[in-house]
Structure 1
Amino acid sequence: MIADAELAQWLDAVRREPETEPLLEELRAERSRARGPEVDVVEDSFVEAEVRIPVRWYRHAGRTRPTVVFVHGGGFVFGDLDSHDRACRRLATLGDVDVVAVAYRLAPEHPAPAGVDDVIAVVQAILGELPTTPLGLAGDSAGGLIAYLAAHRLVAHGTTVEGLLLLNPNADLRLSRASIRTKAHGWGLSTTALHWFIEKWIPDERANADVYSPLELPAAGMPATIVVTSEHDPLHDEGAELAERLEVGGSLVAHHDLPGMVHGFINLDTVSPSARQAGDRILMEFGRHLGTSPGRTAAAARIDSEGERRLHSR
């Protein structure tokens, strides 16, 4: 089953294209995407850390809202502030949150853990600016993996975030689960491309795959997490297994397993009504979760500050 006729038509077009090894120049070529909903203030700026990290703020006027740091997908090698601008606008308006999109450093020029370091630096900067405001992390695909690793390291150093949203996350860099084989081709993301992406992000794959795989890390103590998987995604099984581990660890808020859906649905809202409806529902749910969080107390903010000092002296 495919979620709707429009998605089936999109898949037909994808399947008519020959499958070849990705070309970095083509992946990074500028693509036009329909503009998302209007947000009161959209502003590009930087976070000064080990390097200067470009970010884009999406802010509402009026009362203070929870803030979400958004980590874009793109196989660790492409994507930027524009590639997921529409998704960030949807998250801001549907979730009633402020959003900070991060243009983290990309592989192969900057392999792991550069992207994770950048996301952590942005989170720490926001904690310094908004010490008691609820803060969430959200990531799509490879961005979901980076968001998870950032949250895991932050928790290990005593820093609090109130929520984590993982959309079609990569969780097993060895690509060993069954859906990698059963959904290998013809669904918009091939396992050939996945292997290529991972080789660029962790060049010494044999030594480092487990170090950067969420499924190899303890799930206990993680932030309250919503996991979203799609039936026809080669990453489906590893994402579903991650949800199970988070549930056992007491951190799972919800696991939405979307029937008939494909990888990257969050950017297919202008293609598929089903993708739009699923995305709208999930973005609203994550926003509600953060909106009902009491936020950090002054004591928790102090713990965050102490965790930041430990984190940067590691």
Structure 2
Amino acid sequence: MNPRLDSLLRGTVTAVQTNALTPLYALPTAVRRRLAGAPIQIDGNTLDPELQLLLRVQALLPRRTKSDAATARAHLKTLCNLVSGHPRELQRVTDLTVRGADGQLGARLYVPRDAGRGLLVFLHGGGWVVGDLDTHDALCRALAADAGIQVLSVDYRLAPEAPAPTAAEDAIAAFTWAVDHAEDLGADPSLVAVGGDSAGGNLAAVVAQQCVRRDLPRPALQVLLYPALDLVSRRPSRDLFGEGGFILTEADIIWYRDHYTPDPSIRPDPIVSPLLADDLTGLPRTYITTAGFDPLRDEGTEYAEALKAAGVEVTHHPHPSLTHGHSHLQTLPGLTRQAHEALTTHLRQTLNS
């Protein structure tokens, strides 16, 4: 790295910590490319240079280890605030409560100005340990605004205080509550979808499966954004991308897994590892994304193929140049924005028909 460019990058990091990402991505494209460094190519994929720049900035920020859940939760909030940008304005954002598996759960309803009759029950990521309504507020606002649907974000109970399968049971209960109360929310009960990112994608997949198994109302669509689907086996993508600073690390995966499933005997159960279910027939149509530089890439791809083999209608976007967590980065120029547009277009077309 050129010393002058390195000095500029460090100065930009200071500005980023103070004013989020606006100063960094206001730089000319040629400067951003030089700051990002030489292209990173692994397994036939080339990392998006805008994401590569963000990863360089992240590497210069103070390092924090996941010593305990409270510290990890605070760190995620800081990172989400860094990348969220200006909140999208909607017609209405309302905090409410929904039914959980054992009592009421907090939730937040996002209603855009052009809301149709579709509703997405959204389950946030964060390894079942971190994340909440606030960490995913910007993403839910963007989904509602750009897809023209209502989004109901659910604050399910977290591990280690509430280990598996608590989060899954909360998600099932919250989804069925949303169907039961869809008319009250201004939505069509037949157009209620379930979705989530990462661990939330895991929970969304579990909801879809368990609704079929338990003869509960089925989602109109399941939206699985770079989901975690198998807590037992590992695949080549974990070896390729578990190190190197691609957002989610091997150490992260193990830390989250051990907090969510301290009892290893539950890990093969489909209520924790939906990829291991022996029957996927009858599941709702599916929108699934994977990222080329994500340790979870291969299990997502495998699930997409298994669903297709079971006769499920699947739309799979592999996004070869992106990393885990890219849905939070829709304000960046380039490929992350394109991924967001593909998702919201699909939601609009599917849930507003």
TM-score bracket relative to the smaller structure: 0.7 to 0.9
Report which structure shows greater RCO (CA 8 Å, sep ≥6).
1
Q: CA deviation at 1:60?
A: 3.8
Q: Which residue of 1 aligns with 2:297?
A: 236
Q: 1:228 to 1:126 in 2, by over 3 A?
A: same
Q: In the alignment, what sits opposite 1:81?
A: 133
The code of the aligned residue for 1:73 comes to: G
Q: Please, what TM-score do these two structures have when normalized by structure 1?
A: 0.87
DSSP-derived class of the 1:28 partner: helix
SS at structure 1 position matched to 2:290:
strand
What residue is the counterpart of 2:53 in the other structure? 9
Aligned residue for 2:73? 28
Q: CA distance change for structure 1 residues 98 and 239 in 2, over 3 Å: closer, same or farther? A: same
Residues 15, 67 of structure 1: CA spacing in aligned structure 2 closer, same or farther, 3 A cutoff? same
TM-score by length of 2: 0.78
- Provide the C-alpha distance between the structure 2 equivalents of 1:3 and 1:14, rounded to a whole number of angstroms: 15
The amino acid that maps onto 2:88 is: P
Q: Specify whether residues 284 and 24 from structure 1 end up closer, same or farther in structure 2 by C-alpha distance, changes over 3 A only.
A: same
Answer with 1 or 2: which has the greater Rg: 2
Q: CA deviation at 1:12?
A: 1.9
C-alpha contact (below 8 Å) 1:220/1:250 kept by paired residues:
yes
Does residue 154 (structure 1) correspond to residue 211 (structure 2)? The answer is yes
3-state SS of 1:161 partner:
coil
Q: Which residue of 2 aligns with 1:47?
A: 98
What is the CA distance between 1:84 and its match in structure 2?
0.8
Structure 2 unmatched ranges of 5 or more:
1-40, 184-188
Aligned to 2:345: 284
Deviation at 1:23, TM superposition (A): 3.7
In the alignment, what sits opposite 1:142? 199
- The structure richer in helix per residue is 2
Name the residue aligned to 2:226.
Answer: 168
Query: Considering only aligned residues, what root-mean-square deviation do their CA atoms show, in Å?
Result: 1.9
Query: What does residue range 161-240 of structure 1 map to in structure 2 within 5 Å?
Result: 161-186=219-244, 187-205=246-264, 207-211=265-269, 212-217=272-277, 218-240=279-301
Aligned-pair identity (%): 33
CA contact (8 A) 1:10 1:271 kept: no
- Which residue identity is paired with 2:274? P
Which residue of structure 2 lines up, in the alignment, with residue 297 of structure 1?
none
* Gaps in structure 1 of 5+ consecutive residues: 293-314
Secondary structure (helix, strand or coil) at the match of 1:255 reads strand
CA distance in 1: counterparts of 2:191 and 2:243, whole angstroms: 40
Contact kept? 2:140, 2:151, Cα under 8 Å? yes
How far apart, in 1, do the equivalents of 2:113 and 2:347 lie?
Answer: 20
Structure 1 residues 147-156 or 67-76, which shifts more? 147-156
Paired residue type of 1:183: F
